[in-house]
Structure 1
């Protein structure tokens, strides 16, 4: 059986991360970890007690699951509202110990992704939603100010693992408290990841069942451990899977690395496909629906003909 290729995400040591330095190191559009950057006093201040005291009165909507591997395809989690103080208390409890208060069971896992004030119209912005702690954090603006999209505050309980997915914008994941394991796959590995929408149905890339997912063996896995203070560059379209090894606090910065008009202006989460891609997908859906009216052999033939045209377009042929 074929063995999957595995690589380490390269690490660059630097105290300062500005646009010029960032562009010089990311021109190949592959992931990189920046280590040693001054991200502010949050590195020393942001522990469970400090965050609970500073922002504990905020109410948040969280993911709650009895499983450590969160599955967005099959939705093995619930959304629950809770005070941030209580959420931090529960999610920072030592792993293995049963919770006294819980939604599903005493060993449930938690994940928080901050939202905008108006979840339908406003993007997440740590300076707007959490001004009490925002000044503790030095966000590295490696892009022009007009391209900024969002800054997302994230807190996860030990062992919780987020589904493999891609984003359409470049982003930086700033790990502030706790360690994380990150696994990434290049965009070219899309055929091997068994996608539904923008998410893979393979929940554990380290222990995938190759008898069920044989194509996954052809993927190239980039895997590294993120330490407190690390900043990882996640290029748009790179698939990523993140696991909190202990109580974890992080902030994501997303920006529009392409022309702003290419992005859906009603997308407050930053996870909708680019406008031209969404239109193309609609065309494919219509084509497949039209072919459903043909006998099986004809449907197969004309589907292969469509695939041939797409492949020719991709290779630059007419």
Structure 2
């Protein structure tokens, strides 16, 4: 198991002013209860989704373990894009409800991307945009890790190599035990705020439908214009990574002893100059 276990704070009856002025700036995960999501919480049943989707074939991607099982629909035969189009009225009302409840002038990208069966589990990932995970129907368990614990998560791109976070192989991933784990359960009507860069793992406890609303916390010019889901690094971070790659290639011209020494000096320089002085 990971080290410290912490519950995600749950609050009910949060106003727009409270969220934007006091809670949102804290950059911590938060479960919001009691927000009016419109008729979708009762309307989006399996029967309804099957009716609007029809008997369309879907592509199923199955792996041998639940952690890599990306089945989007088990009990209804429809394409996700068909659901996105055919439930437009309910989606519009849901979006308006969220905007009226929590936001003023922010622009949101809304995606139905979380139709899942029991046991479905997404990899431990991070996004560069802020995210509201709205549990419309069904139940989920969500585990989150702070971006400040990234050095313990064995990252490969935006994903962790640790697939089974409940029973990790600590012989292979010993540092994972140092990561602080935040956890919450979501039921129909709950809304989870996931700040940008927070790693999250979502486990479905029954068939359900969720909606993610992504929005840009930084000025628009900081993001890759082709990035819809918040998967790509901010442009400045991408440029910095390219510069670092070039620096490492330059160091490769030196003998191994010198290369090792100056690479370590570079790491120390980054730690001294780039890391936040407020790091926990």
Which TM-score band (shorter chain)?
0.7 to 0.9
- Unpaired runs of 5+ residues, structure 2, are none
Instruction: Measure the CA separation in 2 of the matches of 1:20 and 1:59.
Output: 45
Aligned to 2:256: 296
Among residues 70, 75, 85, which one is paired with 1:89 in the alignment? 75
Instruction: Measure the CA separation in 2 of the matches of 1:148 and 1:275.
Output: 20
Instruction: Measure the CA separation in 2 of the matches of 1:316 and 1:223.
Output: 25
Aligned Cα RMSD in Å? 2.8
Runs of 4+ in 1 over 6 A off after TM superposition: none
Offset of residue 274 of structure 1: 0.4
User: Number of aligned pairs?
Assistant: 273
Q: SS at 2:261's partner residue?
A: helix
Q: Could you tell me whether the CA contact under 8 Å between 2:52 and 2:86 is conserved in 1?
A: no
Deviation sequence 1:178-201 (CA, Å, 0-9, x none): 110100001100000000011000
- Unpaired runs of 5+ residues, structure 1, are 71-75, 92-111, 118-124
Offset of residue 90 of structure 1: 5.4
**2:31 aligned with 1:30:** no
Return the TM-score normalized by structure 2: 0.87
Aligned to 1:216: 176
Instruction: Measure the CA separation in 1 of the matches of 2:79 and 2:12.
Output: 28
Q: Could you tell me whether the CA contact under 8 Å between 1:18 and 1:140 is conserved in 2?
A: no
Matches within 5 A, 1:168-183: 168-183=128-143
Offset of residue 152 of structure 1: 3.2
Q: SS at 1:237's partner residue?
A: coil
Return the TM-score normalized by structure 1: 0.77
Matches within 5 A, 1:262-281: 262-281=222-241
The structure in which a higher percent of residues are helix is 2
Query: Looking at both structures, which has the greater relative contact order when contacts are Cα pairs under 8 Å and sequence separation is at least 6?
Result: 2
Instruction: Measure the CA separation in 1 of the matches of 2:10 and 2:276.
Output: 35
Q: Could you tell me whether the CA contact under 8 Å between 1:160 and 1:243 is conserved in 2?
A: yes
Instruction: Measure the CA separation in 1 of the matches of 2:58 and 2:18.
Output: 36
Aligned to 1:13: 12
Matches within 5 A, 1:143-182: 143-145=103-105, 147-182=107-142
Q: Could you tell me whether the CA contact under 8 Å between 1:210 and 1:216 is conserved in 2?
A: yes
Instruction: Measure the CA separation in 2 of the matches of 1:167 and 1:54.
Output: 31
Aligned to 1:50: 48
Change in 2 beyond 3 A, CA 1:174/1:3:
closer
Q: Could you tell me whether the CA contact under 8 Å between 2:46 and 2:76 is conserved in 1?
A: no
Instruction: Measure the CA separation in 2 of the matches of 1:68 and 1:212.
Output: 20
Change in 2 beyond 3 A, CA 1:132/1:257:
same
Instruction: Measure the CA separation in 2 of the matches of 1:57 and 1:38.
Output: 31
